[in-house]
Amino acid sequence: MQSKVLFQKDDHQWVVIGRDPEKDDHVIDTNEYVIIHRGQAMLLDPGGIQIFPQVLAELAKYVRMQDIKVIFASHQDPDICSSLAMWLDLNPAIKTYCSWLWTGFVSHFSTGAVITLNPIPDDGMRIKIGEEGPEVEAVPAHYCHSSGNFSLYDPIAGILFSGDIGSALVPNHEASLVVTDFDQHIQYMRGFHLRWMPSTTALRGWVQRVRAIKPRMICPQHGSIFQGEHVGRLLDWLESLEVGQWKGATPKSDTRAAA
Amino acid sequence: MHDVLSLFKRNINQLFGITVDILNVGRSLQQLSLSMQILANNGVVQAAKIQGGKGRPMLALVEILNNTPKEIRPEVAALEHLCAGLAKVTASSSNIVWRYHQLIASLLSAMAHGDRSSASSNLDTLSHLRFTTAADITHLTQHPSFAVAGALERENRQFMVNLCQANLAELHERLKDALRCLGETQQALGGLKMIGLTARYMAFCIASEAAGLAEAEANFKNLSTEITRVVDDLDGKTLAMKKAIEHGQELLDLLLKGYTYAK
């Protein structure tokens, strides 16, 4: 597993963990993000149980285990939070947030102790990083792709964690962590969005909300990160997409390849 | 080293299979007790046909047999209760060993990737460790790569080690609970064996009494043979349960010592 500091100002830091060269081929590659403020950490989409040991080992370089205070799950999928029970075993006091729609479902990831989740209402909410830290904002992203879905915006860093929106199935772990050629990158995003995003209306609504926020960096859960001019290009591209169009015909070859 | 721990984990899950084996045999005894009741009812009818009070001893014998289902039922209920307890303890053990496995993997991953430039990151010298005992974890902390890291990472590694030790201690407690459950199940089997012995003795008495009953002799000898067959079946089932319990005990003894069962 590899990690990289994405943002560092004073005592506020963003780290991305991902691109594991030792990962099993049958497990989809994911990016895990951590926001650390004055030594206290918030973990964004901590990942699946398959990669928990590697993520934990990498995270141990940046923060004390006992100082992981908050976990944010953008939605309910296993690659997002099936490791939740393990994190809560490390520190039962971790506050976990996910859409109210999924709290009862995500609790099934428990392996003994009851998982208590803080429900995020549909309109989103502000969440503190740690006990005394600044707040980040859960931005509604429903039906992009899950029916109860949130992105997370950190105003200090200007970074938006977008969950599956902007995700790409890049060919291997050597792919660039940051998008350098947007046109070239589209091929890795297109199939993913056409199949996994069910609603064009919802996707365009999300784009409008994000344009208002004006993030300087967009960090998806799979694939590469967008910054600078590529943030705007991503939003334009997403707005142009017609998703959720499958009507029973044979899926297009690029979608098959993506799946 | 991971392979041993994976097998250790699988062995714990095998306890589920043993629990199910015991429970299934226990439940099949309910059917067997019904067969015994039918035979007892048959005996009552046959004894009632005998004239001149000669059937009274036979009636008394089959009445005793008639109680067998009532005696078996609470024994089976007790077995079900014990098996449910065993399944719960096994589920808890299974969760703990799963968490423990992940934590050991995290620790090894941290040590292997902590200082790539150093020869100390080579963990080959740990290949003999099974990570199924507290001593193995202590051994791990003495490897040079454990300490080759910054202060933060060292602190986190020690935190993981403490958590591993706590999980392993908790696992051992659960495995001991499972062993105790199996012991209690074995004791419950003693009750069933006594019921079988009583029924077998009744069958013998019925056969003896039948000798003086002239024309009814054949009917009661048949009844005695049938009772003996049902008791043989009961013995067969309790033997199967005994074997399952002993297999569970053997498995748990090995696991508690940190060994695995490869068969």
pLDDT reading at A223 higher than 90 = yes
Residue A82 Cα, gap to closest chain B Cα (Å): 13
The partner residue sitting opposite B110, judged by closest CB among A57, A66, A90, is A57
- Does A2 lie at the interface with B, CB-CB under 8 angstroms? no
- Written in H, E and C, the secondary structure of A112-146 is CCCCCEEEECCCCEEEECCCCCCEEEEEECCCCCC
How far A149 CA sits from the closest chain B CA (Å)?
A: 28
The per-residue b/e assignment along B25-63, b for 16 or more CB within 10 angstroms, e otherwise, is bbeebeebbebbbebbebbbebbeebeeeebebbeebbe
Q: Name which of B98, B109, B159 is nearest A57 (Cβ-Cβ).
A: B109
Tokens of A250: 């044979």
What band does B30 get if pLDDT is binned at 50, 70 and 90? confident
What ipTM was estimated for this complex?
Answer: 0.86
* Strand A226-227, strand A2-9: pairing: unpaired
Residue B122 domain-assigned (yes or no): yes
Give this prediction's pTM.
0.85
Could you tell me if B109 lies within 8 Å of chain A, comparing CB atoms? Answer: yes
Give the angle A101-A103-A106 at the CA atoms, nearest 5°.
115
The stretch A140-155 carries a mean pLDDT of: 98
Q: Token pair of A134, please?
A: 């600044």
Taken in order of first residue, the domains within chain A and their CATH numbers are 2-258 (3.60.15.10)
Q: What pLDDT is attached to residue B217?
A: 84
Distance, CA of B7 to chain centre: 19
Q: For residue B28, which amino acid is it?
A: S
Q: Judge: A53–B113 Cβ closer than 8 Å, yes or no.
A: no
The answer to the question of residue B94 being in a domain is: yes
In-domain check, residue B263: no
How many whole angstroms separate alpha carbon A237 and alpha carbon A184?
13
Parent domain of B131: 2-256
Could you tell me how many CB contacts below 8 A there are between chain A and chain B? 58
> What SS3 state is found at A159?
strand
Contacts of residue B214, defined as CB under 8 A and 6 or more positions apart, other chains included, come to none
Average pLDDT score over residue span B95-112: 93
In DSSP terms, which residues pair with A118 in a beta bridge?
A97
Find, among B228, B202, B223, the residue nearest to B60 by Cα. Answer: B202
Of A54, A63, A90, the CB nearest to B163: A90
Residue B131 has pLDDT above 60, yes or no: yes
Interface of B with A in 55-94 (CB under 8 A): 92
Average pLDDT over residues B145-159: 94
DSSP annotation string for B193-253: HHHHHHHHHHHHHHHHHHTTSGGGHHHHHHHHHHHHHHHHHHHHHHHHHHHHHHHHHHHHH
Helix (H, G, I), strand (E, B) or coil at A26: coil
Sheet of A125-128: strand order equals A125-128, A135-140, A150-154, A159-163, A217-220, A226-227
- For residue A219, the surrounding DSSP H or E stretch is strand A217-220
Q: Using the beta-carbon criterion (under 8 Å), do A86 and B95 form an inter-chain contact?
A: no
Are A111 and B109 inside 8 Å of each other by CB? Answer: no
Task: Answer whether residue B168 is part of any domain.
Answer: yes
Establish if B80 belongs to a structural domain.
Answer: yes
On whether any CB of chain A is under 8 Å from the CB of B102, the answer is yes
Q: How confident is the model at residue B21 (pLDDT cuts 50, 70, 90)?
A: confident
- Helical axes A229-240 vs A200-213, angle rounded to 10°: 160
CB-based contact B153 A61, cutoff 8 Å: yes
Residue A20: predicted pLDDT: 84
Shortest Cα distance, chain A CAs vs residue B136, angstroms: 19
Residues of B in contact with A111 (CB under 8 A): 95, 98-99
Question: Does residue B262 sit within a domain?
Answer: no
pLDDT at B35: 87
Mean pLDDT of chain B: 88
Question: Are B160 and A85 within 8 A, CB to CB?
Answer: no
Closest alpha carbon to B99 in B157, B163, B153: B163
CB A89 within 8 A of CB A71: no
Report the relative pairing of strands A150-154 and A159-163 from DSSP bridges: antiparallel
Quick check: B1 pLDDT over 60?
no
- pLDDT at position B121, please? 57
Residues of B in contact with A62 (CB under 8 A): 152
CA distance B88 to chain A (A): 11
For residue B261, tell me if it sits in a domain. no
Are B233 and B200 in contact, with CB atoms under 8 Å apart?
A: no
Domain contains B145: yes
CB-CB under 8 Å, B105 with A85 = no
Q: Identify which of A54, A60, A112 has the shortest CB distance to residue B157.
A: A60
**Position A259, amino acid:** A
Reply yes or no on whether the pLDDT at A126 is more than 90.
Answer: yes
Task: Indicate the range of A44-53, B47-56, B198-207 predicted with least confidence.
Answer: B47-56
d(CA A182, CA A219): 14
Number of domains in chain B: 1
B108–A56 C-beta distance less than 8 A:
no
pLDDT value for A258? 56
Whether residue A255 has pLDDT greater than 80? no
